[in-house]
Structures are given as structure tokens and as C-alpha cells.
Amino acid sequence: MSCCGRIRKLTIIILMISSIVLSGCRMTVSLTGGNIDPRAKTVLVQTFNNNSSLVNPTLSQDFTTALKNRIQNQTPLTIINNGNGDYTLEGEITNYTITPIAIQGNDAAAMNRLTITVRVRFINSLDENQSFDQTFSRYADYNSSLNFTAVENTLVTEINDALTEDIFNKAFVNW
């Protein structure tokens, strides 16, 4: 038998043995690095009401939906609409403000900042030590020459993405 024939035969044997060994193993890989209790099956996400003085009429629903989507896309948990979940996320939007951040020589703002702040209560019914009550805040800057209503939806989406990532990491990744 030639050298190439032996290498080919050895490769086939190694692949067969690897397949047999690996088929008997069950691996769980988390793409997020999550630390979800294996007993957890459900999460209740309450609507986050907008209690800020400046009200965006769709912010409450937009934020709540963004948080649910992140959990649904990055965990095996089932989102429930009522009852007691293994995990519960609830809270409120406490701040929605626009502030000037870059003042020009004529005392006009060159840039403005939209800031959204959310208070979150995370209840882990399986391990109370993992529960928390915390405020999260994120912002996005935009050129003040732009009409705010023209860029508001884009800014809110960007901020909601950042906020839900922060909340998800705190609740499920233990960051």
C-alpha cells in the first residue's frame, strides 16, 4: 500500500472515531456568552411606560418590543404575557430629553443630544441574588441643523438597541 493510501485510510478512521465520540456528546454553546439558569423557561416583559416629561407617543411600545425581540433572538426563553415568569423585566422610561452639546460662537448649538433613561427591575425567581433594580441611560447625537422629527425614529432605534443590549447583558450575561 502506498504512502498516500495509508494516510487516506488513517484519515477515514480518525473521522469515523471522531464522529462516534462526538455523537455521544451534547454541547451547549451560547453565542452571547449568556449565563441563563438551565431551569429557566419563561420571561415576563412588562410594558415600560413613558413617565418622562417629554413624551414620544410610540417610545413605550417601541422600547418594550425592542427588549422582547432581543431576548427572543438571543435566548431560548419563552416570552409570556402574564403570570409569573422565571424571569421578569419591568420598569419605566424616566427621561427623554434633547440637550444642546456643541455651542458655536453665536451661542447656537451645532449638535444636539437625545438621551433616553430607563429604570429596570429584573426579578430572577430562581436566584434572588441575581435580581436588580437599576437605571440605564444612552444617548445619540445629531446635527442641530436637522429637523428633529425627521431623525427622531432613527435616533430612538439606535438608542433602544444600545439600551436593550445593556439590559440584556446585565440580566442574562452578568456583565
Looking up residue 161, the CATH number of its domain turns out to be: 3.30.160.150
User: Is 49 inside any structural domain?
Assistant: yes
C-alpha 51/C-alpha 64 separation (Å) is 14
Q: How many domains does the chain have?
A: 1
User: Is 152 inside any structural domain?
Assistant: yes
User: Is 115 inside any structural domain?
Assistant: yes
Residue written as grid cell 419605566: 92
Residue range(s) defining the domain that contains residue 160 = 35-173
User: Is 56 inside any structural domain?
Assistant: yes
User: Is 93 inside any structural domain?
Assistant: yes
User: Is 59 inside any structural domain?
Assistant: yes
Ranges assigned E (strand) in the chain: 42-45, 49-50, 78-80, 87-103, 109-124, 132-143
Q: For the whole model, what pTM was predicted?
A: 0.77
C-alpha 100/C-alpha 90 separation (Å) is 31
Give residue 30's pLDDT.
Answer: 40
User: Is 8 inside any structural domain?
Assistant: no
pLDDT tens, the chain, 175 aa long: 565 566 666 666 665 565 554 444 333 334 444 678 899 999 999 999 999 998 899 999 999 999 999 999 999 999 999 889 999 999 999 999 999 987 766 666 689 999 999 999 999 999 999 999 999 999 999 998 899 999 999 999 999 999 999 999 999 997 6
User: Is 20 inside any structural domain?
Assistant: no
| Coil, strand or helix at 40 | coil
C-alpha 30/C-alpha 51 separation (Å) is 35
